[in-house]
Amino acid sequence: QSVLTQPPSVSAAPGQKVTISCSGSSSNIGSNYVSWYQQLPGTAPKLLIYENNKRPSGIPDRFSGSKSGTSATLGITGLQTGDEADYYCATWDNSLSAGVFGGGTKLTVL
Amino acid sequence: EEQLVESGGDLVQPGGSLRLSCAASGFTFSPYWMNWVRQAPGEGLVWVSRINSDESSTNYADSVKGRFTISRDNAKNTVYLQMNSLRAEDTAVYYCARGAFSEGLDDWGQGTLVTVSS
């Protein structure tokens, strides 16, 4: 059971928009920045969003992040088949003194 | 090119030990926090441990506390994970990742597979 809660799966058609939620608590999301990672099949994770809503160089603006209270959201617009992957939220948990990841959300682009 | 390359994964019996290494290249290694993150087959990402730039601060997941030890050698641009008293549930691909959670883990290695089985 992950400390951060994500939906197991989401799906949408090419060109559409999807959002992935990440729910935590005051000791993690409520107190710290959230980052998001994309893991394509058979590859290592890649940083998509950091500090709640910032994109590293090379990440297209189709990807966005937001945070409100103890929840965070990843948004992806203009869906492409190449976006099919597992997506993870992560942050630091002050009570656990540990890094925490969500359980991951599998995105299917129909 | 910035690169992290893990090594040391192997098949080990329950109760055994293993040391993983992660060699960094293409960037200045010493200022960065370094992490180990693992992923069991078909499962999600789980943070394992982290170490700060001068080894003065380390943290561990409860599941590995007392059994795993993280360390680094800035002269060799390498971070290590010493794993003792291994259990079947430690079976996973182990990734090293650069950075602090506050800024995102912005560089990852390709992973090394640890299998704990008799």
pLDDT, tens digit only, all 118 positions of chain B: 999 999 999 999 999 999 999 999 999 999 999 999 999 999 999 999 999 999 999 999 999 999 999 999 999 999 999 999 999 999 999 999 999 998 999 999 999 999 999 9
Considering only CB atoms, which chain B residues are within 8 Å of A106? none
Contact between chains at B45 and A88 (C-beta distance less than 8 A): yes
Of A46, A50, A101, the CB nearest to B46: A101
Considering only CB atoms, which chain A residues are within 8 Å of B60? 98
The Cα B74–Cα B27 span in angstroms is: 12
Q: Give kind and range of the element (H or E) at residue A63.
A: strand A63-68
Query: Under 8 Å CB-to-CB from B98, ≥6 apart: which residues?
Result: B4, B24, B32, B33, B34, B35, B105, B106, B107, B108
pLDDT at position A83, please?
97
Contact between chains at B104 and A86 (C-beta distance less than 8 A): no
Confidence tier at A7 by pLDDT (50, 70, 90) = very high
Please give the average per-residue pLDDT across A10-36, as a whole number: 97
For residue A101, CA distances in Å to A2, A5, A11, A15, A28 come to: 7, 9, 21, 28, 10
Q: Does B61 touch chain A (CB under 8 A)?
A: yes
Contact between chains at A99 and B101 (C-beta distance less than 8 A): yes
pLDDT at position B15, please?
98
Q: Testing the interface with B: which of A50, A87, A91 to mutate, by most B Cβ within 10 A?
A: A50
A32-90 pLDDT, tens digit per residue, is 999 999 999 999 999 999 999 999 999 999 999 999 999 999 999 999 999 999 999 99
Nearest chain A Cα distance for residue B43, angstroms = 8
Q: Does B95 touch chain A (CB under 8 A)?
A: yes
pLDDT at position B86, please?
98
For residue B34, CA distances in Å to A25, A55, A104, B74, B91 come to: 25, 21, 22, 11, 21
Considering only CB atoms, which chain B residues are within 8 Å of A51? 102-104
Find, in chain B, the residue whose alpha carbon is nearest to that of A90: B101
Q: Does B1 touch chain A (CB under 8 A)?
A: no
pLDDT at position A1, please?
80
Burial status of residue B2 (CB atoms within 10 A of its CB: 0-12, 13-18, 19 or more)? exposed
pLDDT at position B58, please?
98
